[in-house]
Structure 1
């Protein structure tokens, strides 16, 4: 599928870019250098080449329908504020997993919730998906609040399924259905 831009009200969602008009690589470097981002994300972006590879990988994943990734962008400047993506997409079972992060300079400003809600509308209406899951480390209280604000239901806990700060930690598993209010 070709990348789809989505209007998310105050923000717009677009593909990651590194071209003569918009270059998301510096913002990716800043975000992934942040200790809190590193704590909860397995991806590492240490230099411009790695950032370029990250963007090219996301482009290939769009083209092969294995992952759809959107930059949460400022409506005026186009600046990267965060990222939302659907991965592990199964069109037969109509399922996918959602993940997200917010650039450290923009955390706490309510950016990611409307972006996720816009992606969910696209997932249900545009892609015909029915079940979207969302997982995060139990210690990540911000992700918990995001899940709750976006109407996800806590399905359960995978005990010690992730390592955070060199210690096993529980992984909380949430879901939202196309038929949820």
Structure 2
């Protein structure tokens, strides 16, 4: 599956990027990701394999990554997880409902009420 962009009200969700136009590598470093470029590559490969779905939560006017959210399928259920940069918890909270709807509607997953504030 190709990555799907989501509008979450004030926030814009897109696939992670690390190319000559946009790079999420510095922001992922701020979130504590050890090898951000490798993380971007594996997140995009996981979209293709449909084993993990990861979005950058961005400021719409700049495209800057301020949080990461994802859902990891496990049979018919999905684990929802994410982490925000300092000061951007509201963006992560807003994206939770939109990603849950996508996981349930487009992927047919039952998303648990529990939300893990981490990066997977």
TM-score (norm 2): 0.88
| Number of residue pairs aligned between Structure 1 and Structure 2 | 117
Q: What pairs up with 1:63-74 in 2 under 5 angstroms?
A: 63-74=48-59
Match of 1:168?
none
Q: Residue 98 of structure 1 is aligned with which of 69, 73, 80? A: 80
Q: Distance in 1 between matches of 2:106 and 2:11?
A: 19
Match of 1:57?
42
Q: Distance in 1 between matches of 2:103 and 2:67?
A: 19
Is 1:132 matched up with 2:112?
yes
TM-score (norm 1): 0.60
Q: Distance in 2 between matches of 1:130 and 1:27?
A: 30
Match of 1:116?
96
User: Which secondary structure state, in structure 2, belongs to the residue aligned with residue 111 of structure 1?
Assistant: helix
How much is the aligned-residue C-alpha RMSD, in angstroms?
A: 1.6
**What is the deviation of 1:31?**
2.0
Structure 1 alignment gaps of length 5 or more: 33-43, 137-142, 144-181
Match of 1:31?
31
Name the CA shift for 1:89/1:3 in 2 (closer, same or farther; >3 Å): farther
**What is the deviation of 1:114?**
1.1
Question: Higher relative CO (CA 8 A, sep ≥ 6), structure 1 or 2?
Answer: 2
User: Which secondary structure state, in structure 2, belongs to the residue aligned with residue 2 of structure 1?
Assistant: coil
Structure 2 alignment gaps of length 5 or more: none
User: Which secondary structure state, in structure 2, belongs to the residue aligned with residue 56 of structure 1?
Assistant: helix
